[in-house]
Chains A and B, each alone.
Chain A
Amino acid sequence: MPNLSLTKTPIPKQPVEERIHNFDEVELGYTEELALEEASRCLNCKHPQCVQGCPVNNMIPDFIAQIRENNLDEAYRIISINSGLPAVCGRVCPQERQCESRCVRGIKGEPVAIGRLERYVADRHYSKLNAKPEIAPPNGHKVAVVGSGPAGLTCAGELAKIGYKVTIFEALHVAGGVLVYGIPEFCLPNYVVQREVDNVTSLGVEILTNMVIGKTLTVSDLFERGYEAVYLANGAAWPTFMGIPGENLNGVYSANEYLIRINLMHAYRKEPDTPIMKGGTVAVVGGGNVAIDAARAAVRLGAEKVSIIYRRSEEEIPARREEVKHAREEGIELMMLTNPVELIGYDKDDPKYGFVKSVRCIRMELGEPDERGRRTPIPIPGTEFTMDVDTVIMAIGTVNNPLIKKTTAKLEVNGKGGIVADRITCKTSREGVFAGGDVVTGPATVIAAMGSGRLAARSIDKYVKAKAEGNAEW
């Protein structure tokens, strides 16, 4: 008998008044009882739409059916057929726009909490530490992967399982990409990412940190060192600014810098060597996950007031609904239909000269839809106002980094600097070079990057084997 409740089974959370003082995970995960309760909301549809909504077509009703039987190993196995990082995706996927948006239960009431169930299966799986996945005997082929975010980790893991010797080259001092330096601990704890990284190394993948491809070694060097294929999964993390006056004042950060200081360099701990501006009034510009994460991090660093300034309305906010809700609960003000026009610094005779003092903003209204159907925000003349701030965080997007493009001959890039690659084969314009994840799509999602990593592994396998037989096509 299905559970006919119209709402999702609530997930235990840290109470708001506690969580705003720490960086621990907000959502604590389903217990067995809660998972069973939620799993029985799934109607096990004959033609499940949720599967179509999932970017990697996870067999959702099947794994949920296994949860109902308390067959978590089987549930995990089913998820693993299409997904490499369930503990991560269960936590950070925008389910409300993917699988859950198609769930029939969502027509009347809330959809099944697919993300929470996925996380439950993955967390239980890890807490039991099951037998390692099978690894094929070494096939003698070497592949290089550039970047250790979800795309790189997944591709490396998949290739290692079928016998490849894979080396990941990572620019930073730790592996994990955005999952470690961008997404904060309270959404995605580091131990969850570390488990995935350890999983990949336990398959025999070698991860070399402190290796900037384009500087320490070039793509050509990798081929010279005997790698037969190179997978570029180096993300798109070059922060952009608005181009308004005052953006280089002290106290103005890119969201990447702010989050890197916190997540990667642990500026939230008691005695950090990496400093960060804390407290006071913080304004975050943007409406994506990055903006929400930065704002919520600012709250936890002790800011008295945090506002998110976004030029469209709440309906258009690209961030995950759940996180917007959390942000609101944590006291963050959402200033919608507003756009900064200037950042103003302190006067010359003020001791704080050089630091940002206020933001001048203008109100916006939504005009005609553009080609993509998104209504364009238009400034309303005469509505300018100024608000005092101590810190401004620019979370208006990132673009591609030029390092690899500049040092790799015959690699085609698009107008935005993204590497041009086929979405299915992941092949670029240069033979032997594959690419996927944010570096191809621009900033997207973890699941899309993970999905690309899987496709790339298949395509690389095909290419390397064909090449060894002397009939590789490009």
Chain B
Amino acid sequence: MFTIVKKRALTSTVTLMEIKAPFVAAKARPGQFVILRAMDDDERVPFAIAKCDREAGTVSIIFRAVGATTEKLAHLNEGEAVQDLVGPLGMVTKTEGVSRACVVAGGVGSAIALPIVEQLKEQGSSVTMIVGFRSREEMILEDEFRAASDRLIPVTDDGSCGGYGSVTVPLKELYESGEKFDLVFTVGPLTMMQKVVETTRPYGFPCTVSMNPIMIDGTGMCGGCRLTLHRDGKDIVSFACVEGPEYNGYEVDFDEAIFRNRMYGKEELHAHEAACNLFKKEVM
């Protein structure tokens, strides 16, 4: 069992959980993730490691209650424990030699960007960050991002934060004004990452995407996390849990990845509703 040492609501639907997992904390590096099972018989769900405190032996995850597991997770409190947590999984972000980075993050997924920006900052890279959220209320980690970047450009769908609309608007402005980057890193919804890649492609800056496919074991046993890379005229199948989650954005088949993430659209919704009903019953 893995004890929840801290639970904090970042927005009305997004929660940060700091969980005691000394083995994972000792090894975790930027870009890696964990797989967690809230209770016995629950799904195994991957979460980015948003923070890692080696001394305290804890890792933090940030999530929105969107599926059955996250819903149940959100109902656990400090002092309670999650059944299983395994990691750190996946490859570590390659930041060596990067001097000017642009990190484009959207939604809850931006959590994985935090350790990466912090790492970049620590090694002295200059970091521009564009973060996109639906609205001001939905924005998370603003202080942390501001502290770790040289420049933070927030945008929201409703313009409540200054910037308006898509993250690719300010990104394109930067490119057009002649700014150059030796790493463009993006994480967030698949359609957003796809747009970031396409906006960057004409400029040819190295562009890394952090993929979030459906996973079960996270160790290369099921192949459920597979995606297609187009490389040198060939299609290569890659297991994101072991060989990813970060990829050269220009190689990833996003259309396929988008479909694969929707595979269980209906079932997921159903399980989510079932979980909600469960908790309503418990509350009453």
Interface on A for B, CB 8 Å cutoff?
Answer: 171-173, 181, 209-212, 215-217, 237-239, 241, 247-251, 253-254, 256-257, 260-261, 264-266, 271-275, 353-354, 401-403
Contact = CB atoms under 8 A, between A and B. Distances in A.
A211 B68 CA distance: 25
Contacts of B174: none
Contacts of A264: 216
Contacts of A211: 23, 86
A297 to B, nearest CB: 15
B4 to A, nearest CB: 16
A275 B84 contact: no
A252 to B, nearest CB: 10
B220 A403 contact: yes
A209 B84 contact: yes
Contact of A254 (B222, B227, B242): B222
B219 A171 contact: yes
B87 A215 contact: yes
Contacts of A215: 27, 87-89, 219
B260 A248 contact: yes
Interface string B169-180: 000000000000
Contacts of A274: 43-44, 216
Given A273-B271, A275-B264, A354-B259, A247 B237 contact: yes
A121 B44 CA distance: 37
B138 interface: no
B268 A216 contact: no
A260 B268 contact: no
A215 B222 CA distance: 18
Interface string B96-113: 000000000000000000
10 contacts: A210-B84, A210-B85, A212-B87, A212-B89, A216-B23, A237-B220, A248-B256, A274-B44, A275-B268, A353-B259
Contact of A248 (B222, B237, B267): B237
Given A273-B275, A403-B220, 16 more contacts: A172-B217, A173-B86, A212-B87, A215-B89, A216-B24, A216-B86, A216-B87, A237-B221, A241-B223, A248-B227, A254-B223, A256-B222, A274-B44, A275-B271, A354-B260, A401-B220
Interface of B: 23-24, 27, 37, 41-44, 68-69, 83-89, 216-224, 226-228, 237, 239, 242, 256, 259-260, 262-264, 267-268, 271, 274-275
Contacts of B274: 271
Contacts of A239: 221-223
Contacts of B88: 215-216
Which applies to chain A's interface (DSSP): helix, strand, loop or mixed? loop
A57 to B, nearest CB: 32
B185 to A, nearest CB: 22
B41 A248 contact: no
B228 A248 contact: yes
What 3 A-B pairs come out closest when comparing CB atoms? Answer: A275-B267, A354-B259, A257-B222
Contacts of B84: 173, 209-210
Contacts of B68: 273
Nearest to B37: A173
A353 to B, nearest CB: 8
A253 B214 CA distance: 13
Given A248-B228, A274-B216, A275-B268, A266 B222 contact: no
Nearest to B43: A273
B32 to A, nearest CB: 9
A216 to B, nearest CB: 5
Contacts of B87: 212, 215-216
B260 A265 contact: no
Given A215-B87, A216-B87, A239-B223, A257 B216 contact: yes
Contacts of A257: 216, 222-224
A212 B86 contact: yes
B263 A273 contact: no
Contacts of B37: 173
Contacts of B239: 238
Contacts of B260: 248, 250, 354
Contacts of B218: 212
B137 to A, nearest CB: 29
Nearest to B268: A275
A303 to B, nearest CB: 16
Given A210-B85, A212-B86, A402-B242, A260 B222 contact: yes
B219 to A, nearest CB: 5
A211 B27 CA distance: 12
Given A216-B27, A265-B216, A210 B86 contact: yes
